[in-house]
Chains A and B, each alone.
Chain A
Amino acid sequence: MDGKTVNACLTLALEAQGKDIMTIEGLAQNGKLHPLQQAFIDHFAVQCGFCTPGMILSAKALLDKNPHPTEEEVRKGIAGNLCRCTGYTKIVEAILAVGGK
């Protein structure tokens, strides 16, 4: 919301009025995946996919602020997004790969 990640379950719809909302659906441009989306595929960072929207948008917010994060910064940046499948390692690798470019 307005460029910052927030939990939808804690945000009243009334308080989102007039705000710029970006969800995972808005990330791909003209049918072309965002580099983070492509990296998640390339690094096998998606299994069931439930956590993926939150992970990718958290990663985007992190890279917008800090384009070349360390592994620790990546782990802190996605903290709070729980993944039951991947064990996080692949997700961290995917984000680091985009951050390394």
Chain B
Amino acid sequence: MTLPKFEYLAPTTLAEACALLAKHQEKARVLAGGTDLVPQMKKRAATPQYVIGLKNVSGLDYIEFDKTKGLRIGALATLNAVLDSPVVKSNYPVLAEAIGRMATVQVRNLGTVGGNLCNASPAADSGTPLLVLDARMKVTGPKGERTIPLEAFFKCPGQCTMEPGEILTEIQVPPPPPKSGAVFLKLARTKDGICQEARIALGSVAPTPMRAHKAEEMLKGKKLDSALIEKAALAASQEARPISDIRSSAEYRVEMVKVLTRNGLTQAMERAKAG
């Protein structure tokens, strides 16, 4: 498969990239790792006239952690850079766990976490852990800078809520709450065996990665026993809005949300007790 004809623009500063995007509007697409956009262009699912490559914009591939401020991931940090980062491994193991199960070494050397989120696939694998970790997206555009909670960043499959001309610059993750444990599905905070707060994120079972707020509410301030976990898992499965497609049926996905939420909550409880 060949690429359609396009013009490649290579800005070296963020301001230049924003100006180019503002100038060419919907005729242009930003390219980070290209692991989503290049295949889309080959399939003619995307045919931008201008491709704005971000690779020459320096200083956007940082991964920085501060105990009080949390984690900041630059929009150009690759999936493998985040996966191999010692501060991510020790403070946000659930994020490393999820990225470690994504794609392949070659794809992770190119692809970015920012691209994974901007591509807004319902199955974006970094979406669920980052929803549970309450991440925020810092974007910059013609009207200046703003941050958007990740939950409000996803709009529908393939679309996020950035305005035309806006570029994602940073993913911000607050410090992990003390005594918390997360597995690649959920996060619970406990005190004396009482769940202070639970966060459950689901992927591939709705138009966007989503939080199961009703199920989370049921767990807040309660002691997590198997009966309550079972009830919350059922509630989460009722919140999911899956489709049937070539990969599986909607009925199967609903059932699996129940099973995985139950297993996830049980494992997260154990991790929270241990940590």
Residues of A that sit less than 8 Å from B by CB: 4-7, 9-12, 14-15, 58, 61-62, 76-77, 79-81
Residues of B that sit less than 8 Å from A by CB: 8, 10, 31, 33-35, 38-39, 53, 55, 80, 103-107, 109-110
Structural contact, A79 and B105, CB atoms closer than 8 A: yes
A15-B53, A80-B104 given as contacts; is B39 within 8 A of A10 (CB)?
yes
A4-B109, A6-B109, A7-B110 given as contacts; is B103 within 8 A of A12 (CB)?
no
Contact of B34 among A4, A12, A76, A81 (CB under 8 A): A12
Known: A10-B33, A15-B53. 15 other contacts (CB 8 A): A4-B109, A6-B106, A6-B109, A7-B110, A10-B38, A10-B39, A11-B34, A12-B53, A15-B34, A58-B105, A61-B105, A62-B105, A79-B104, A80-B103, A80-B106
Q: Which 9 A-B pairs have the closest CB atoms?
A: A80-B104, A4-B109, A7-B106, A5-B106, A10-B38, A14-B8, A79-B104, A6-B110, A6-B109
Contact of B110 among A11, A14, A77, A81 (CB under 8 A): A11
Residue pairs across A and B with Cβ atoms less than 8 A apart, 5 shown, are: A4-B109, A10-B107, A12-B53, A61-B105, A79-B104
Q: How far is the CA of A12 from the CA of B52 in the complex (A)?
A: 12
Q: How far is the CA of A5 from the CA of B110 in the complex (A)?
A: 9
Q: How far is the CA of A58 from the CA of B109 in the complex (A)?
A: 12
Structural contact, A58 and B53, CB atoms closer than 8 A: no
Structural contact, A15 and B105, CB atoms closer than 8 A: no
Q: How far is the CA of A24 from the CA of B106 in the complex (A)?
A: 15
Q: How far is the CA of A76 from the CA of B80 in the complex (A)?
A: 13
Q: How far is the CA of A81 from the CA of B106 in the complex (A)?
A: 9
Q: How far is the CA of A81 from the CA of B105 in the complex (A)?
A: 10
CB distance from A5 to the nearest CB of B (A): 5
Q: How far is the CA of A1 from the CA of B35 in the complex (A)?
A: 15
Contact of B55 among A10, A15, A58, A76 (CB under 8 A): A15
Q: How far is the CA of A4 from the CA of B109 in the complex (A)?
A: 7
Q: How far is the CA of A72 from the CA of B35 in the complex (A)?
A: 25
**Which residues of A lie under 8 Å from residue B55 when comparing CB positions?**
15
Q: How far is the CA of A7 from the CA of B55 in the complex (A)?
A: 16
Structural contact, A5 and B109, CB atoms closer than 8 A: yes
**Which residues of B lie under 8 Å from residue A81 when comparing CB positions?**
104
A12-B34, A14-B8 given as contacts; is B109 within 8 A of A80 (CB)?
no
Structural contact, A10 and B104, CB atoms closer than 8 A: no
A10-B39, A12-B38 given as contacts; is B53 within 8 A of A77 (CB)?
no
Q: How far is the CA of A2 from the CA of B109 in the complex (A)?
A: 11
CB distance from B188 to the nearest CB of A (A): 29
A12-B34, A12-B38, A14-B53 given as contacts; is B105 within 8 A of A7 (CB)?
no
